[in-house]
Amino acid sequence: MKIKNVKIAVNKLLLPIVLLALISSVSSCVEHLDSSKATANSGDDGGEIFKSALDLTGKKIGYCTPSLNAPYYQALLQSIKSTTEKNGMIFYSADGQDDINKQIAAVEDLITRGVDALLLNPKDPDALVGITKVAKAAGIPVFIIDSSINPSADFVTTIQSNNLANGELAGAWLAKKMGNTPMNIALLSGNAGNPVGRTRKQGLLQGITEEQLRTQGKINLNVKTQAYTEWSYAGGLKAMEDILVAHPDINVVITESDVCVLGAIKAIAQAEKTDDILIVAGADGQKEAIKYIMDTDFYGCTAMNSPVQIGKNAVKHAIEYMNGKRDFDKKSYTAPLLITKENAAKYYNPNALF
């Protein structure tokens, strides 16, 4: 497969990604964020007002993120903060700082502060089960957002994008694009054991094989290697550098998240292989990825995982709970959506945080 040379576009696009990768994490574990500390972001993340029979004034929403080391996490936090405050409530933020022990301690702090609802984005699906039981004993409902948790945990519902359906859309697009061309695939994952990453990967592989069976009557799936990136730009760069040395015949990269592959693009460009490798992401819709899709031919597609919408939905469910609702489904999803060159401009916002 040959794709037109896009080295100039690569160099132009790499600079803002590098700058984003250098954004430092919030140093404090738990912080009460007021309006003066709001993070600049796009215009569509300014929160949403929901109906409530209960007076929400003074109610406290606590959110614990596993990290703030990626624009996605920052945009999700900002969406929750904006929506919480727009509905007259107080917002408390806790940063797990990429350390499960710190995340557990951060959640304990939120519980001590007496939040009325706890929104939790678990770094690990098992390690936080115990702390959800502590929250329940304190009368605090727990809402799992973006990621997943062991079903034995005490939680109301999980709010996330439809990772399986998004992955299937991206995988099917890839199979159609490649047709009968043999694929030597490198898979870039987030971190080992992550249930969301596993579901996205499952969707990608299902989408590829189902489309091949439908159009060719056979499966030709050759995943040469898998590498973990820890959901980071630096991790993707290092993983791709190693892959290109060990597997120089790679012509397709599939990934569980845009962030896993954005750093990898630098390695691909340095190896002068942007003409030879096609990238497909099973999730996120990060603005840098959408820009690549618009301006190049090597980034084929990504699927929408909107942190803005997930944040709004999470606060909405918390408000519904405060108003007495208890019959929540255990999982709720945002609508699946594939972003390709044909519709990328519609979803690109250069001023967005994510």
pLDDT of residue 193: 83
CATH of the domain at 149: 3.40.50.2300
- Tell me which residue of 145, 139, 141 sits closest to 156, measured CA to CA: 141
Show the domain range for 133: 22-161+307-335
Helices 7-21, 287-295: inter-axial angle, 10-degree rounding: 180
Whether residue 290 is contained in a domain is answered as yes
Whether residue 234 is contained in a domain is answered as yes
pLDDT of residue 47: 78
Is residue 271 within 8 Å of residue 325, measured between CB atoms? no
pLDDT of residue 45: 53
Which two structure tokens, joined as six digits, stand for 19? 């700058």
pLDDT of residue 195: 85
DSSP 284-343: B--HHHHHHHHH-SSEEEEEB--HHHHHHHHHHHHHHHHTT-----SEEEEPP-EE-TTT
Q: Is the same domain home to 146 and 275?
A: no
Which two structure tokens, joined as six digits, stand for 54? 């209960």
Whether residue 354 is contained in a domain is answered as no
Q: Is the same domain home to 45 and 126?
A: yes
pLDDT of residue 71: 82
pLDDT tens for the 354 residues of the chain, in order? 444 444 444 444 444 443 343 333 333 344 444 332 323 233 345 678 999 999 999 999 999 999 888 788 999 999 999 999 999 999 999 999 989 999 999 999 999 999 999 999 999 889 999 999 999 999 999 999 998 899 999 999 999 999 999 999 999 999 999 999 999 999 999 988 888 899 999 999 999 999 999 999 999 999 999 999 998 899 999 999 999 999 999 999 999 999 999 999 999 999 999 999 999 999 999 999 999 999 999 999 999 988 999 999 999 999 999 999 999 999 989 889 999 999 999 999 998 888
Cα Rg of the chain, angstroms? 20
Q: Is the same domain home to 210 and 281?
A: yes
Q: Which helix (H) or strand (E) holds 74?
A: helix 71-86
Whether residue 33 is contained in a domain is answered as yes
Q: Is the same domain home to 259 and 300?
A: yes
Q: Is the same domain home to 327 and 241?
A: no
Q: Is the same domain home to 254 and 329?
A: no
Q: Is the same domain home to 138 and 90?
A: yes
From the centroid of its chain, how far is CA 241?
23
pLDDT of residue 194: 86
Q: Is the same domain home to 78 and 116?
A: yes
Question: Count of domains in the chain?
Answer: 2
pLDDT of residue 190: 92
Is residue 293 within 8 Å of residue 339, measured between CB atoms? yes
pLDDT of residue 352: 86
Whether residue 1 is contained in a domain is answered as no
Q: Is the same domain home to 27 and 152?
A: yes
- Tell me which residue of 282, 287, 288, 276 sits closest to 301, measured CA to CA: 282
Q: Is the same domain home to 193 and 138?
A: no
Identity of residue 304: M
Identity of residue 64: C
Q: Dihedral, CA atoms, 40, 35, 140, 312, nearest 10 degrees?
A: -40
Whether residue 61 is contained in a domain is answered as yes
Give the tens place of pLDDT for each residue, 34-49: 332 323 233 345 678 9
Q: Is the same domain home to 174 and 302?
A: yes
Q: Residue 298 and residue 277: Cα distance in Å, rounded?
A: 6
Where are any strands of DSSP class E within 1-156? 30-32, 60-65, 90-95, 117-120, 142-145
How many H helices and E strands in the chain? 11, 13
Whether residue 352 is contained in a domain is answered as no
Residue 16 CB neighbour total at 10 angstroms:
13
Which two structure tokens, joined as six digits, stand for 154? 């005490």
Q: Is the same domain home to 296 and 313?
A: no
CB burial string 262-277: b at 16+ within 10 A, e below: bbbbbbbbeeebbebb
Which two structure tokens, joined as six digits, stand for 229? 């990136």
Whether residue 237 is contained in a domain is answered as yes
Biggest CA–CA distance in the chain, Å, is: 61
Q: Residue 165 and residue 203: Cα distance in Å, rounded?
A: 6
DSSP 159-214: EEE-HHHHHHHHHHHHHHHHTTS---EEEEESSTT-HHHHHHHHHHHHHHHHHHHH
Q: Residue 265 and residue 284: Cα distance in Å, rounded?
A: 16
